[in-house]
Homo-oligomer: A and B are copies of this chain.
Amino acid sequence: MAETRTTRERIRREAAALFRERGFNGTSMAELASAVGVTKSSLYHHFPSKQALLSEIIELTVSRVTPLVRAVAEMDLPVSERLGRAVVLHTVEAIRDQDALACFVEEGRYLAPDFMETHLANRDTYEQLFRRIFEEGIESGDFMEQDGGIAVKAILGMCNSVVRWYRPDGSRSPDEIASQFAHFAVRGAIASRAPAPSERRSPT
């Protein structure tokens, strides 16, 4: 049916890039049209409205990444390993698909009520995947006692920040960044026998 292969897809891609770098409300349909190389009218042949365009960009990416994370979350591995892999996966995807992910994270809030409902539902579903890992880890004693909801917000907040500062010409590769995030998240989460909260230099 939907031949997503030519103009329609290019519109989506350019829109994601523009929405990300100028914001949804900072991007006009005229700018988008000229970036794609068509007229403003043609945009409306492919998408009923600017809102619908943003909504589709977001949904498409969420529905692609969610199953990937779910697969990791359901693997038969220690919780800390699953957490680490989920963080790596999320971060790598956030970098690979930066524009769309940025729309999801930063621009989704501009969706009108009709689209907002679906958007929030999708977001909750996604966060639940991380939350379950966390709560399982806390229950089993592998993770520190802490508020799972906040921990998930913290981790995703950390990961999602890449869309604001990552540059392809930077000194670190996506894999390196993802792995550093994962180490950070896992070390932050696990219950260590070693010193905890605030303390001093490590002697041993």
| Contact (Cβ within 8 A) B187 A188 | yes
| Contact (Cβ within 8 A) A26 B200 | no
User: CA–CA, A199 to B199, complex, Å?
Assistant: 29
Given A142-B201, A188-B187, A197-B81: A158 and B154 within 8 A (CB)? yes
Is residue A183 within 8 Å, beta carbon to beta carbon, of the partner chain? yes
| Contact (Cβ within 8 A) A183 B161 | no
User: CA–CA, A183 to B154, complex, Å?
Assistant: 12
| Contact (Cβ within 8 A) B154 A201 | no
Given A23-B23, A151-B180, A165-B153: A194 and B187 within 8 A (CB)? yes
Residues of B within 8 A of A154 (CB): 158, 161, 180-181, 184
> Which among A7-15, A33-41, A42-50, A169-177 touches the partner chain?
A169-177
Interface residues of A in 105-164 (CB under 8 A from B): 106, 109-110, 140, 142, 144, 146-147, 150-151, 153-162, 164
Is residue A196 within 8 Å, beta carbon to beta carbon, of the partner chain? yes
Is residue A85 within 8 Å, beta carbon to beta carbon, of the partner chain? yes
Partner of A194, one of B88, B158, B193: B193
| Contact (Cβ within 8 A) A150 B175 | no
| Contact (Cβ within 8 A) A147 B160 | no
Chain A to chain B contacts (Cβ below 8 Å), 20 pairs = A23-B109, A25-B26, A78-B200, A106-B106, A146-B183, A147-B171, A151-B184, A156-B161, A157-B164, A158-B161, A175-B200, A176-B201, A179-B198, A179-B201, A187-B187, A187-B190, A187-B194, A187-B196, A188-B188, A192-B194
3 closest A-B pairs by CB = A157-B161, A25-B25, A188-B188
In addition to A151-B180, A157-B159, 20 A-B residue pairs with Cβ atoms within 8 Å of each other are: A23-B23, A23-B24, A23-B25, A81-B197, A142-B201, A146-B180, A147-B171, A147-B172, A147-B180, A150-B177, A153-B165, A154-B158, A154-B184, A155-B158, A158-B158, A161-B161, A179-B201, A187-B190, A187-B194, A190-B197
